[in-house]
Amino acid sequence: EEDGGWKRRSIETFVQTDLVTHSLPDLRRSVPSVIDGLKPSQRKVLHACFQKKLLPSAAEIKVAQLAGFVTEATAYHHGEASMHQTIVKMAQDFVGSNNVPLLEPCGQFGTRADGGKDAASARYIFTRLGPLAPLLFPSADAPVLTYMEEDGQLVEPEHFVPILPVLLLNGSFGVGTGWSTSCHSYHPIQVLDNVLANAEGRPMRPMVPWAAGFTGQIELWEDGKKEDAKNCPKCKLE
C-alpha cells in the first residue's frame, strides 16, 4: 500500500527481511566462534600474518602497514580505523587484556589505566606474530582448513582449529543483535590440563577466571556462600 510515496509494510515483514539482513552479519562480526575464539576481523588479521610470514623471528611491521595488507589479502570491507583497532587489541598484554596475545606489542599499545584506548597511532607502533601463535595454530593444519571465497578470491578460513581453546585463554566480549557473549579468561596451564584430561577420558577440573599479572583476590560464590578461589581444592593447578 502506498502512502505519500512510502511503501507501508507490516512489522513482521520488516523483521523477517531488513532486520534479519542486518542482524545476521552483525552477529557474525560481534560474537566470536567457540571453535577458534576469534571474530571475523581477528581471523582475517591472523590469516594475513601467516600469509605474510610474520613469524616471531621475522622483522616487525607497522600496524598501519599490516592493516593495509589485511585489507588487500582478505577483502576486508570496513574502515581502516576499525582494522587498526583490531590489530592493537590482539597485541595488548596489560592486565585484563590477553593472557596469550596472538600478536606482539612493539611500542605503546595502551595501558590498563585507560583500557587500552591510549595506544599510539598505528603509524608509530609495530607488531608481528606472538611467540605462541604458531604453536596454537600449526601451519600443518592449513591444507585441511575450509577457506571462504569473497570477491572472487580465497580469503581466511571459516575458522581455525587451535591446539587449545583460545576463547578460554583470552576470553571475549561482544554484543550483537539479541545475543551477546562475555567469556572470562583462564590460566593457560589449567586449560591445557583440562584438554589433556578430556582427551584421555579423565574428569575435567572446574576453573577459576585468571588474568596474567593480576595480584588481587578472586571470590567464588557457591550456594550463597563465599569461597576463596586461591584455596579452592577443586580448582588448584596440578
Residues 6+ apart with CB under 8 A from 113: none
Q: Are 141 and 13 in contact (CB under 8 A)?
A: no
C-alpha cell at 153: 578470491
Q: Which helix (H) or strand (E) holds 43?
A: helix 40-51
Q: What is the DSSP string of 59-82?
A: PPEEHHHHHHHHHHHHT--S-HHH
Q: Which helix (H) or strand (E) holds 149?
A: strand 147-150
Residue holding cell 589485511? 70
Which residues have a catalytic role annotated?
Answer: 124
- What are 204-207's contacts with CB under 8 Å, separation 24+? 205/234, 205/235, 205/238, 206/232, 206/234, 206/235, 207/168, 207/235
Dihedral sign computed on CA atoms, order 134, 140, 143, 145? negative
Dihedral sign computed on CA atoms, order 99, 27, 54, 134? positive
Residue holding cell 505519500? 4
